Chains A and B, each alone.
Chain A
Amino acid sequence: MSEDQPTIEECIDNGMYWFGRSDMEAARAWWDRGLELDPSNERLARCIRLLEESTSTGFKGSSWADDQSTPISEVSPFASQPRSRGLDPTIPDAGRVDGLPDEPSLPSAAEELPDEPAPEVAAGRGQTGSWRSISWMAHNATNPNAQDPLDFATDAPSGDVETVARVDEPNPWDSGPAITSPLVVSDDEAFDAVADPTPLPELDREAYFDRYPETPSEIVDFLRATGDLEPQTEQDALQAARDKAHLHDFEGVLELLEGNESAVRDEEARALVAEARSQLMKMFESKIGDFDRSPKVNVSEEEIIWLNLNHRAGFILSQIDGSVTFEDLVALSGMPRLDTVRILSELLQQRVIE
C-alpha cells in the first residue's frame, strides 16, 4: 500500500484479510474504500455481496469462535480484533489510520519492512526467515479429496509446489488455484524458529474469486481455512499457541489449546494455558476494579433487546440489580471466574453496565 492511497488490489486484499478474521466492519471499510476508487469493480461487488449475505444469515463477527471465549461478539477486543496485530490487544484502535482498519501486518514489525506489507508471496520467490505466510484458500468441505490448505503450505517440498498442488484425482485446487493471503509477519526474533521456507504457489486472483464461497457452509470452511486455521497436529497447535502468547493474544492461546485433548497433555501447553488464563484474568479484573462495588444496568429494559449478547451475558445482565456486587456475580454465575469476569469487563466496556 502506498502511503497516500491504497490500490484497488490492496483494498480487496486487506478487506479479505479482515473478512477472514471475522471482522466484518473492517472488511466492509476496506471494500468501501475500494469502491471509491473503482465503483464498477466486479470483484469488489462480489466481495460486498458475500459479506452482506454472510451477515444477514447470522454469520457475523466472531461467530465461529467458541461461545465461551466470545460471549459478546463484534465488540470484543480480544475475539474480533486481529490475532496477528500483536502489541497491546487492550487497545483495539491502535494503529488504525484514516478511519480504516489496520493493515494486516504486525505494527511492531512494520518498521523493518518495506512500505507495503507485501500482500502476497509468489511461488518460487521463497521466504526469508522474517516472513511467514498463511495460505488463504477456500476449499470444498464436501469433497472428500479436499486437501487442507495449511498442509499444502507447510508440507510442500521447497521450490516444488506444483507436485503437491496437482494430484491425479480431481480436487478443489484443480478448479480454483490457491491464493496466498496478505502476510502475517512478525519480527525476526519471534518467528525465526518457526519460519517456513516453503515457497508459496502463485496467486491467481481471478480464479480465486471465481471460486469464492457462496453458501454459509462454504463460508465456514473458508474461514477455517483462513482466519482461524485449526492446526492439524499437536505440535502445530503448540507452535501456534506459542506465537499467540508472544503476541499477547491470550484468548487465541486458550482457543487453540483448551479442549484440545492431545495438547493439554503436554506440559508446555498446560503452562501456556495457565499463563494465558492468568494474564486474561488480570486484564479483566483490572478493567472491573473493585469487586465489592455493585454494578448498575446502564440501558433501559427496552434497549437491552437490541444489544448483541449471548445467553451467558444475558444471564449475568439479568442478575444485576444494583445490590449485588461484582464478587456476588462471580459467585452466582455458576461459570468459571474467568468467563464471568470476561463478560463483566465486556459489559462495562460497552457501557451496558456501569
Chain B
Amino acid sequence: MSSEPIIGIDLGTTNSCVAVVEEGVPKVVPNRAGYRTTPSIVAVAESGRRLIGHIAKRQAITNPEGTVYASKRLIGRKWNSPAVAAALETCSYQLIEGPHHDVRISLRDTVYSLPEISSMILGEMKLIAEQYLETEVNKCVITVPAYFNDGQRQATKDAGRISGLDVVRIINEPTAAALAYGYGKNIERTVAVFDLGGGTFDISILEIGSGVFEVMATAGDTYLGGEDFDNRIIEWLVFGFLKENKIDLRKDRMALQRIRDAAEKAKIELSGAPQTEINLPFIISTGKNDALHLQKTLTREKFEDLVIDLSERCIQICDKTLKDAGIDKKDLDDVLLVGGQTRTPKLQEMVREFFGLAPSRSVNPDEVVALGAAVQGASLLDERSSVLLLDVTPHNLGIMIVGGYFQTIIERNTTVPTSASHVFTTVRDNQTSVRIMVFQGESQRAEDNELLGEFILSGLREAPRGAVEVEVTFEISADGIVSVSAKDLETGVQQSITVTATSGLTEEEIRRMAQEASEYALGVKEDDKTARLRADVDGLLRDIDAVLPRVRGFMSGSDFGKEALAKADGIIGKGREFVGGPGQFTEDEKTTLERTLKMLRGVLQKMDDDDIEGGPPDGTSA
C-alpha cells in the first residue's frame, strides 16, 4: 500500500464522517472533541470567527443568519431550480444568485459559493484525519446521494479541490454502505439501503455482482430526516411548557437552542432506554428576576406516538419506490440501515415488517457510509484489491425529440468511457436544420430533465420529412467529459458540442478559493500551535513560580547568582507577556524556559540537600 492515505468522507446533509483503512481495517476517525461524526454546519460568529461542526451547531439558533446548515441540498443547483425555491422559503441564512446562475450564500457581508461552504466542512475532515494520522492527507473518496447529477457531483469535487483534497473518486452513498457491509467480494445480492439521515431520507435498491454495484432504483425525500423527529419532541416540550406557564419558549432563541439540543439527546437516549429525563434549568426568565426550569420525562412510547406519521412516511416511500421500479420485496436479500435515525427501535420494527427481513445492524449506521468510502479509497491504492468500482454515468443521457419527449442515448450506470449513437430523421418537409438539445435524467419528458447544452446542425438537404437521416453520437471520456455530435449521413455535414459538468464556478474562482482556504487552514494550524505553546509556557511558568521565591533569596546573594537571575527574569517576563496577551514566543525560547526551570530546581535541590532555607550562600540573610 502506498504511504499516502486516501481517506473516505461521508459529506452528509446534517453530519459528516471521515474514515480511513489502517492495516486492512476501516476505522472512523474521531474529531478533536472525541465525536465520531461532525455536524455539517458552518457559521461565522459576530466576531468574524469561523465556526465549523459542533460549535457551529450549538449556536445555530442563537445566530441563525450567520449559520449555514444543510448546504448539501443546494450544492450544484441552479438558482431557478425548485430545490433553491424551496430553500428560499425555509433558510434562515441569505441566499443570493451567483454570477453563473448558481447559488451563493451571504454570511456577515461575505459571499460564499456552495462548494466553498462544503470545502470548509471537508477541510475540517481533512484536519481531523491529519491529526489522527499525523501526516498530510491530500486524497479522498467522497460519497454523494445516488440521485446527484453531474453538476452536483462536479460541485462536490470542486469543494474537495478548494479544501486542498484531490477527490480520486465520487461514489454513491448506498454503494458505500454496501461496501462497508462487506458486499465487495464476488457476492451476488440484491439489497435495499434504507438511509434515514439527519435531513434526508433515501431508499436505494442495489444489485451487486462481481464487484459491480448497480443502483437499480433510488428515491426519497430531501426534507425528511432525523431533525423532523427532533422537532416533534421540541413541539411537545414547547407546547407543554406553554400550557403550564403561558410562555412560548420558541420566542427565545437561547431557550430554543437548548431545547433543540435536549430533544436530540433525549431521542438518542430513547433508542436504548424506555424513558429519559429532560432537565433544562433556568430555561427562561420571567422578568421578575426569577427563572423557570423545564423538567419533563419522555417515554419511548410517547416518542413513538409523536413520530409515528414520520416513520410511516418512510415506509410509504419504500413501497412506492419498489412498485415504480417493478421490484418485488421477495427479491431482496438484505436490508441495510444507514443513518442515526434508523436506531429507533420502532422504525426498525416497521422496516422488518415491511420488507419481511431483519435489517442488518452489524455496522454503525452513522459511520457505515464513511467506512465504505474508506474501503473504496484503500482498494484504489491496493492493486490486488478485488473491490473495484468503476465510474458510471449516474443518469440517462439523451436528446429531446419531437413532441418534447426524451430519447435516451446512453443508459445510466453505463461504465465510462463509452460511446453510443442513434439515427434520427427530419420531422418536416424541406427541413434544413435540426436543433440538438442534450439532457440528462430519467423522465420521459425532456423538460423534466436537466439541460446540459444545445446546438444546431444546419445545411441539411431539402427533402420530404423522414428522408434525411441524422446520426447523433454521444461520447463520454474517462474524465467524464461528454461530447455530442450530429452528422448528416448523406452529406457528411457535422456539428458537435462538448459538455462538461460544472458546479457554477470558473477555474479562476476555484483557484482563488483554494488559495484562500489554504491560507485559512494555515492560520488555523498556526493558531493551534500557538495555543499549545501558550499552554506549555503557562505550565512552565507555574512550575517556576513554585520554586523561584525560595531560590531567588539564595541566589541573589552572589554576583553570579544575580546575573543568572537577571537572565531568568528576562525569559520569564517574556513568557508571562506571551501567556497574558498576544506577545511572541518561539520554541527556542520555550527550551530556554525549560532550562531555566531545570536550573532553578537544581538550585532548590542543592538547597534542600544542604538544608538551606533561602538567602545567599554566606548565610547573611538566610
Contact = CB atoms under 8 A, between A and B. Distances in A.
A59 B255 CA distance: 24
Contact of A73 (B45, B58, B289): B289
B279 A328 contact: no
A63 interface: yes
Interface string A214-231: 000000000000000000
A290 B534 contact: yes
A304 B294 CA distance: 13
Q: How large is the interface on A (under 10, 10 to 19, 20 to 34, 35 or more residues)?
A: 35 or more
A290 B579 contact: yes
Given A61-B289, A310-B289, A315-B254, A332 B59 contact: yes
Given A290-B534, A292-B531, A331 B291 contact: no
Contact of A331 (B34, B45, B538): B45
Contacts of A305: 281, 293
Nearest to A61: B289
Most A CB contacts (10 A, CB to CB) among B46, B58, B63, B289 go to B289
Nearest to B530: A292
A302 B255 CA distance: 20
A332 B535 contact: no
A107 B61 CA distance: 47
A334 B66 CA distance: 10
A60 interface: yes
Contacts of A313: 282
B288 A58 contact: yes
B254 A312 contact: yes
B253 interface: yes
A301 B277 CA distance: 12
Contacts of B344: none
A318 interface: yes
A311 B252 contact: yes
A154 interface: no
B282 A317 contact: yes
B49 interface: yes
Interface string B281-293: 1111100111101
Interface string A274-304: 0000000000000000101000000001001
Interface in A328-350: 328, 330-337
B257 A315 contact: yes
A263 B283 CA distance: 34
B108 to A, nearest CB: 13
A324 B56 CA distance: 12
Contacts of A61: 289
A258 interface: no
Interface string B26-55: 000000011000000000011101010001
A264 to B, nearest CB: 20
B401 interface: no
A329 to B, nearest CB: 9
Contact of B59 (A63, A312, A334, A336): A334
A311 B291 contact: yes
Contacts of A292: 531, 534-535
Interface string A38-70: 000000000000000000001111110001000
Interface of A: 58-63, 67, 73, 290, 292, 301, 304-305, 307, 309-315, 317-319, 323-324, 327-328, 330-337
Given A73-B289, A310-B285, 15 more contacts: A60-B289, A62-B289, A292-B531, A307-B282, A310-B291, A311-B282, A311-B285, A313-B282, A314-B282, A315-B255, A315-B258, A315-B282, A318-B280, A331-B45, A334-B253
15 contacts: A58-B289, A310-B285, A314-B280, A315-B257, A317-B282, A324-B55, A327-B49, A331-B45, A332-B58, A332-B62, A332-B63, A334-B253, A334-B257, A336-B46, A337-B46
